[in-house]
Structure 1
Amino acid sequence: MNLRTFLIFVYLVTSIPLFLFFYTDISVWLSFFVNYLFITAITYYHLEVEKTYSPFLSAYIVFNFLFFIVAPIIQINAIDPEVNTFINFFPYSSNVVIYTNAVILFFNIIFFLSYVHFKSKRVYIKALPKSPSPFTPIIAITLVIICAVILITNFGFLINEIERANWMKPDTSVGSLLIRKKVLFLVPLGGVAICFSYLRSKVKLSRNSIIIFGVMLIMLFILLVLKNPLTEKRNALGPIYISLIYLFFPKIINKNAKSFLFLFISMIIAFPLISALTHLRITFQEMIEHPEEIVEYLQKEGILRAFSTLHYDAYANIIATVDYVKLNGLEYGHQLLSSLLFFIPRGIWEGKPYSTGQVVGDHLIEEYGFRFNNISNPIVSEGYINFGWVGVFLMAIALSFAIIKLMQWLNSGDALKEIISFYFAIHLLFLLRGDFTNGYAYFIGTLLGVVVIPKIIEKCITFSFSKSKTSS
């Protein structure tokens, strides 16, 4: 059995029982089935037609299948008739489900057509790795010193994060957390990529190669200390660890079928298990002292049950967003300001909009008695809340355009651009789930840490040595 055949088998094994045991109105059943058929068509294109390596489309398909097909079907099946609400307390209605599925289908159609259109404008050929700079050893040593300083100066913060229970709020501000966790703590990933690219280009063993190999191991260790399961959630760890797999063992996921299978299995089995561990409401010390609580939690929260939890609330929150627009009207781009201008502190901009997840969460609290406002909000409804169907159209085009641009980076031969573009492909699972403010801000922060800071250091060192040689 080859890989494609196995993929089809897994896909059918998951899909057939899902629809076979989906007990609902025929109109609701058909609305999900039409969306499923279109996602299946994209999957066929991705695995059988598309020749360019696109982990982006793999992530897009897996997200849609799990969050907009599997999760809502399981959740609707599990609705208590006496309560008759979704997991976010919004009342179930067949009409609103059909409408929501129509919005999702429209987004998927526009995204796929624009993806194929933008992609047809360019032939993607994997470029050879760029020749390393003669100053790479100095750049690598400088980066490892900076990474060591980052680790040492933030060691106390890491200890506090390990000891802090998941439900407790951090002591530091949101801005400080963003700079630390999403910028500074990601600098080692860029350093590892530079070192590995240098080592891959060298055939003969040399003193510089040995030095850079040692530096790479140190930066990899620092990265794993800064980004570990005790201080981060799965949406932050997944893109980093999978990017490292792509960097060191590319044959595992360097084909569309491989990346699709990897992400499909990860989202169904691995991530629910990681979710169980990272969302335990106990401290690290309590885990050590009472390991039976972990076993008991895993027994209670099975993999199938995970899709009926708030970790998979994306679909229900699109419905809530549609309801918000119905009652309050469109935002006409107001909500996008909080995303695009996330770096402006609220102390300076007093009227800064709150994230869409918080706005819709407050709506659920006020209208339906939901418990909290820290919820996801998919990119589909980000477009809808701003400009309605036109916003859905524009957001789908913007997403496909961004993916095609990053696909160029993935094939550029530049080590830093390649690793950040692959990182984005995995981060796409988080970005699509939303809300957009957090997904966008987190990626921009990672872009600064992985690409911008190392490139600034590289340019400064190259300029300094070139200038010294010229003056001499």
Structure 2
Amino acid sequence: MQKLTIKRFMYTYFFICITLIGSFSIFLDLDFINKQGIVIVSFLINGVIILFELSKSSKVGYSLKDIFYLFLFIFMFISPLIQYLKGVFPWWNTYLLTDEKIIYTNLIILLFLLVYLTIYKIAFKNRIIIKNREVKNIRLVMDIFFVATVFCSLFIIINTGFSNLFARVNNSLQVELSSFALIISNTFRSVSVIYVGMNLLFILKNKYVYRIIPFMLGSILMILVNFPTATARFWMASVYLGLLIILINKLKNPHIFKIIIFIGILVIFPAINTFRNNSFVEVIRNGINIAKPADAFLAGDFDSFSMLVRTIIYADSYGVTWGNQLLGNLLFFIPRSFWPTKPIGSGSMIAEDFGWNFTNVSLPFIGEGFINFGILGVVLFAVILAMLCKFGDSKYEKCIYSENRNITFIELIFPFSIGFLFFILRGDLLSSLSYYIGFMAPVIILWLIQSLKIRS
């Protein structure tokens, strides 16, 4: 925890004021339908704890821990409370979301929150044992990544079509095998991002640009194959937020990052979503309509809490899967042709059971723990998440304040993990984990190659 100065106190004070005033202004616009006091109290207990933890500042101004509490505040407190008060939850079968189930779900969230809070505080308390691994022969590595950037980017541009690179509705690879297309779409697009990230880190550490023309060309290709309006919102956020974090690795205002995330979710994400079903030209012609915050929170994008309730309902009827869903998540790379009984995403599984025609729904990380192992899974998943977040935050902060001019793997992984963690927490785990590992594949391959060379 950082030393409390007058400046930091004022930053925290204004952050809390802005958060409370902004949240209160949203609720003023509501016509309350449900007003059961005990249900509202169950939300408020979680909300107070989350906001208290969110008000604590991280050393560099952002962290995986901040993302965790931001997710809980928005998706497990503000949005579901608005949905409850309005009597409108995303998707169907909402009559099953009774007051008793909502209170029980809030207790599950409270348990997850308290376990995470405790483990994060005590994990790796003395020191992080694992040494930060440096990228060896960084100039040669950047040269190789530049060649890979050109190859991967041209492959995407040729197969997608240049005119289709700017809107998500048309931005898909024309490849027959869907599994192969997914691998290419994730990993091939990330190569250029990692290349640009390496160059930015090299510039910051060495104060000069290594091969300026390849860097400029690689940056242009990176933007083309990862154009903000043509990629999924979580991908866009992970890419460009990650690059921004690399550029501005320490924030003077420890809460500005959280405010940016709030604005992004309430304004930028709804605007970007317009390109999901419309071409770039159609959007420019028709304009962008952004819903009021209160209405936006009622949409399917904020279905995490309601899907958690439905997960509990599903488990009450069929029992937990005892790790079967988790096994499918961890072995996502195995084609279904080789594993016909491979589990589908947990959110889709529950949606199919309810008989919905639309099954592309979320299932939050907490729900993945519950669907696999019940209450024990909630505790287990909270412990794993807290340890990973604490490890990443501690290792990254150590690198940021180090005078070492070499680039480390954690500096390549952490900035982009910030955005992906939000996606993983929202779920479902099958899709989010496959996208995350697909994005990190170039870094993982590089790490494996250099690890084998060191051992040999």
- Short-chain TM bin: 0.7 to 0.9
Amino acid at match of 1:324: Y
With over 3 angstroms needed to count, the CA separation of the structure-2 counterparts of 1:228 and 1:167, relative to structure 1, is: closer
Q: CA deviation at 1:136?
A: 3.5
Give the match for residue 4 of structure 2. none
Equivalent AA in structure 1 for residue 267 of structure 2 = I
- Deviations 1:341-388 (Å, cap 9, x if unpaired)? 0011110111111110110111222xxxx3311110001110111111
Q: Which residue of 2 aligns with 1:176?
A: 180
CA distance in 2, matches of 1:361, 1:325: 13
CA distance in 1, matches of 2:350, 2:362: 9
Shift in Å at residue 161 of structure 1? 5.2
Q: 2:414 maps to what in 1?
A: 421
Identify the residue that residue 278 of structure 1 maps to in structure 2. Answer: 275
Q: 1:165 to 1:270 in 2, by over 3 A?
A: closer
Structure 1 residue 110 corresponds to structure 2 residue 110? no
The match for 2:47 among 22, 31, 36 is 36
Return the TM-score normalized by structure 2: 0.85
Mapping for residues 19-418 of structure 1, pairs under 5 Å = 23-44=34-55, 46-47=56-57, 51=59, 54-79=62-87, 86-91=90-95, 92-122=97-127, 135-159=137-161, 162=165, 166=169, 172=175, 173-202=177-206, 209=208, 211-251=210-250, 253=251, 256-275=254-273, 277-279=274-276, 281-288=277-284, 291-292=285-286, 294-295=287-288, 298=289, 301-365=291-355, 370-411=356-397, 413=399, 414-418=407-411
Q: Report the Cα offset of residue 216 of structure 1.
A: 2.2
Matched-pair contact (CA < 8 Å) for 2:167–2:229: no
Residues 258/351 of structure 1: CA separation in 2 closer, same or farther (3 Å cut): same
- Calculate the TM-score normalised by the size of structure 1: 0.83
The separation in 2 between residues aligned to 1:31 and 1:357, in whole angstroms, is 25
What letter matches 2:148 in structure 1?
I
TM-fit CA distance, 1:261: 2.5
In 1, are the aligned partners of 2:229 and 2:272 still within 8 Å (CA)?
A: no
- How many corresponding residue pairs? 433
Structure 1 residue 171: Cα displacement: 5.5
Tell me by how many angstroms 1:417 deviates: 1.9
Match of 1:452 in 2: 444
Which moved further from structure 2: 12-21 or 378-387? 12-21
Q: CA deviation at 1:93?
A: 1.1
Cα shift at 1:408: 4.2
2: CA distance between counterparts of 1:268 and 1:163?
A: 22
- Aligned partners of 2:164 and 2:171 also within 8 Å: no
Deviates more, 1:226-235 or 1:14-23: 14-23
The alpha carbon displacement at 1:241 in A equals 0.3
Deviates more, 1:427-436 or 1:88-97: 88-97
* Residue 387 to residue 156, structure 1, CA distance change in 2 (3 Å): same
Q: SS in structure 1 opposite 2:71?
A: helix
The verdict on how the C-alpha distance between 1:287 and 1:267 changes in structure 2, with shifts beyond 3 A counting, is: closer
Aligned counterparts of 1:220 and 1:188: Cα–Cα separation in 2: 7
1:435 corresponds, among 428, 441, 456, to: 428
Q: 1:247 to 1:270 in 2, by over 3 A?
A: same
C-alpha separation in 1, matches of 2:40 and 2:421: 28
Amino acid paired to 1:59? I
Asked if 1 retains the 8 angstrom alpha-carbon contact of 2:26 and 2:293, the reply is no
| 1:157 to 1:361, Cα distance in 2 relative to 1, 3 A | farther
Deviation at 1:308, TM superposition (A): 0.7
Deviation at 1:70, TM superposition (A): 1.2
How far does residue 53 in structure 1 lie from its aligned partner after superposition? Answer: 5.5
Q: Distance in 2 between matches of 1:339 and 1:312?
A: 22
> Is this contact kept in 2: 1:199–1:213, CA < 8 A?
no
* 8 Å Cα contact 2:323-2:373 kept in structure 1: yes
CA–CA distance in 1 between the matches of 2:213 and 2:173?
Answer: 35
Shift in Å, 1:458: 7.0
Distance 1:53 1:229 in 2: 25
Q: Secondary structure at the match of 1:151?
A: helix
Could you tell which deviates more after superposition, 27-36 or 259-268? Answer: 259-268
Distance 1:153 1:104, change over 3 A: same
Task: Output the amino acid matched with 2:181.
Answer: L
Q: How large is the Cα RMSD of the aligned pairs?
A: 3.1
CA contact (8 A) 1:111 1:397 kept: yes
CA distance in 1, matches of 2:344, 2:253: 40
Inter-partner Cα distance in structure 2 for 1:337 and 1:420 = 24
Amino acid at match of 2:374: G
User: Are the structure 2 counterparts of residues 194 and 361 from structure 1 closer, same or farther at C-alpha, using a change threshold of 3 Å?
Assistant: same
What code does the residue aligned with 1:443 have? Answer: Y
For the Cα contact (< 8 Å) 2:47–2:73, is it kept in 1? yes
Q: 3-state DSSP class of the match of 2:261? A: helix
Q: Is the 8 A contact 1:318 1:377 kept in 2?
A: yes
* Structure 2 contact 199–209 (Cα < 8 Å) conserved: no
Q: Deviation per CA, 1:312-348: give whole Å up to 9, x if none.
A: 1111101111111111111000110110000111101
More helix by proportion, 1 or 2? 1
* Structure 1 residue aligned with 2:403: none
C-alpha distance 456-191 of structure 1, shift in aligned 2 (>3 A): farther
Q: Distance in 1 between matches of 2:172 and 2:218?
A: 29
The Cα of 1:423 is off from its aligned counterpart by: 1.3
The CA distance in 1 between the partners of 2:110 and 2:173, in whole Å, is 39
Note if contact 2:60-2:249 (Cα within 8 Å) is conserved in structure 1: no
Structure 1: which 5+ runs fail to align? 204-208, 468-472
- Following TM superposition, by how much is the alpha carbon of 1:163 offset from its aligned partner in structure 2, in angstroms? 8.4
| Seq. identity, % | 22
Structure 2: state its 5+ residue gaps.
1-6, 400-406
